[in-house]
Chains A and B, each alone.
Chain A
Amino acid sequence: MMPGSQGMESRMDVPVPVIRLPRGPDGISRGFDLNSLRYQALGLKDCKELKQEQKARTVMREQYLRSLLAMAGQPVCFTMYEKVTVTACFGSSDIDILNFQVSELQTPLGVQREALLRCPDIISYTFQISPQHTGT
């Protein structure tokens, strides 16, 4: 018997943690199988609740993105921190809504042709849509 083998043996008794990821996409689905035992073992969230949550997410996100689309090319009034109010023509936004690209930004120091507004600096913004757009 080699010296130290006793210690080796007891160390081997400690189970090695195995990370089991949920089963991957099976070719026809778009992601992890939410019904798989592996996914449920992760204990993330109740499958039914997750589905409901994702459905709510898509409905709300779609409406928000449509509101951004409707705002493109419109004059928008931005209320910023430190009681600053500026008006600009909205261009577009990045996907995480971190920056707004605007043109003709009217600031107290004159008009900026093109500008990026950092969304964390904004408190709120307002624009109007005409009734023909609403179709009612």
Chain B
Amino acid sequence: MTDWCKKSPLDWKDYMNKEIKVTADEKNEYRGWVLTVDPVTANIVLVNVLEDGKVSVTVVMGHAVQKVDILDEGNDEIKERLAYLFMPEEIKTFSKEDLEKRKNSLKSWLEQNHIPVTQQGDEQRTLCVAGVLTIDPPYGPENCSSSNEIILSRVQALIQSAITH
């Protein structure tokens, strides 16, 4: 178990969207932009854009990490590119403004129906209904998650009727 594995998730989060150099076991060295660090295994996901426009993803296993050096602090543009790299296709067909519009119209629709809604998550993109159900972008009936199936089916029906409304 290395020092890297013992770090807390908040420590790992500091490395996100930065360019780093990782020294791993058997003198392997890797460079790239940190997409994420898996909080379970401490695996580091590094992203590099190749000359032909393809994206190369290298994952260094957490148990093999010996040393991590930050090379570049990164900027908002890189942050945005990395955030959308693995997002499902359906989100990408909507622009950021479209998603914001869809979110706000759904929020007001739910509020009209006397359902308490809050926003949460990264950039407040997730809608949360009564603390028990979340709706992720692009805010369709199939984007609802809840462990309470009764609330789930009710809210899904409501969203469906908002679409056909």
**Residues of A near any B CB (own CB < 8 A):** 28-30, 49, 52-53, 55-57, 59-61, 63-64, 66-67, 69-71, 79, 81-83, 96-97, 119-120, 122-131, 133-136
Contacts and interface: CB of A to CB of B under 8 A. Distances in A.
Nearest to B132: A28
Interface in B138-165: 147
B86 A67 contact: yes
Given A123-B25, A134-B55, 20 more contacts: A30-B132, A52-B10, A57-B39, A60-B36, A61-B40, A63-B35, A64-B36, A67-B35, A67-B45, A97-B38, A122-B61, A124-B30, A124-B59, A126-B58, A128-B55, A133-B55, A134-B84, A135-B84, A135-B89, A136-B84
Contacts of B41: 96-97, 119
- Main SS of chain B's interface residues? mixed
A123 B36 contact: no
Given A53-B9, A67-B36, A129 B54 contact: yes
B100 to A, nearest CB: 18
Contact of B40 (A56, A96, A122, A127): A96
Contacts of B40: 61, 96-97
B58 A120 contact: no
Contact of B39 (A61, A81, A119, A129): A61
B83 to A, nearest CB: 8
B12 A60 contact: yes
Range of interface residues on B (Cβ < 8 Å): 35 or more
Nearest to A97: B41
A130 B50 CA distance: 10
A29 B86 CA distance: 30
Given A122-B61, A126-B58, A131-B54, A56 B9 contact: yes
Contact of A130 (B45, B54, B147): B54
A83 B27 CA distance: 10
A60 B9 contact: yes
A56 B57 CA distance: 21
B64 interface: yes
20 contacts: A28-B131, A30-B147, A53-B8, A56-B9, A59-B36, A64-B43, A67-B35, A81-B26, A97-B38, A119-B41, A122-B61, A123-B60, A124-B24, A124-B28, A124-B58, A125-B58, A128-B54, A134-B84, A136-B81, A136-B84
